[in-house]
Copies of this chain bind each other. A is one copy, B any other.
Amino acid sequence: MTEIKVAVLGAAGRMGTQTCAAVEAADGMTLVARLDKDDPITGGSLSGADVVVDFTVPSAAEKNVHAVLDAGAHAVVGTTGWDDASRGRVAEHLERLNATRAHGLGVLIAPNFGLSAVLAMSFAAKAARWFESVEVIELHHPDKVDAPSGTARHTAVAVAAARAEAGLPASPDATESGWEARGADIDGVRVHAVRLRGLVAHEEILLGNPGEQLVIRQDSFDRSSFMPGVLVAVRAVVDRPGLTVGLEHVLDLA
């Protein structure tokens, strides 16, 4: 197997720095370029990279992906904050390019590279239709401003969609009063938000039937937890032409 040549955009940032280190330590890949915010993105500056990982800022990421594709490389995008219009323009650009080439380029946009978080969300959605009740608890450090967390919101949306598709009614609930805790009702799924010094980012999905419970819990203890997912994405994107949104699609969960 030949080595995958990797370039990193936003290489001096917090995630970019970790990505460079992770790529250098990984089997089967070589770091060929580190670019930061004022560096031009061209075939030359990318040093022949097969895959370019973008950890920049929302305002730059779409433009960066177009430049990466024009340079003939695959893109992995970890920068968050993409809207649907951006996705659409990247998808069109990609299709146009792939129509003119022998074998296609891929773009993998991942809002979350945490393997445990992505798997927890995916398993919760798959399990959802088989249980009468479901609730979500997310737990974070107390400096977090928003509640519930984005991950918990996505989980609840996916769980609610799976229940709706299976024709399940709302989770049973006889509560007559007391709705003042941190958290929200997301599409009918109750999400509780705990804030506690010492914690980082954690999520628990509780599913219940008469006499049984399934709990899927995910703990992110530090930022290093995203690197295994970034490496999975780099390895996957070279064999996955077109646009993929979400790491779960490359984790062979079928």
Q: Which residues of A contact B (CB under 8 A)?
A: 114-117, 119-120, 123, 126-127, 129-135, 137, 139, 142-148, 171-185, 190-200, 206-228, 232, 251-254
Contacts and interface: CB of A to CB of B under 8 A. Distances in A.
A114 B179 contact: no
**Which are the 10 A-B pairs with shortest beta-carbon distances?**
A181-B183, A211-B225, A212-B225, A198-B208, A196-B208, A147-B178, A116-B214, A211-B224, A142-B172, A181-B181
Contacts of A182: 175, 178-179, 181, 183, 190, 192
A89 B209 CA distance: 35
26 contacts: A115-B214, A119-B214, A120-B214, A123-B126, A123-B216, A133-B142, A133-B196, A135-B195, A135-B196, A144-B174, A147-B177, A171-B195, A172-B195, A178-B183, A180-B184, A181-B185, A183-B192, A196-B206, A197-B209, A198-B211, A198-B212, A198-B213, A200-B221, A209-B225, A212-B219, A215-B218
Given A175-B147, A193-B175, A130 B232 contact: yes
A214 B214 contact: no
B253 A225 contact: no
Given A131-B115, A174-B143, A209 B228 contact: yes
Contacts of A126: 119, 123, 251-253
Contact of A171 (B123, B142, B177, B224): B142
Nearest to A223: B211
Given A120-B214, A211-B221, A191 B197 contact: no
Contacts of A133: 142, 195-198
A115 B209 contact: yes
A144 B209 CA distance: 16
A156 to B, nearest CB: 11
Contact of A174 (B145, B179, B225, B228): B145
Nearest to A119: B127
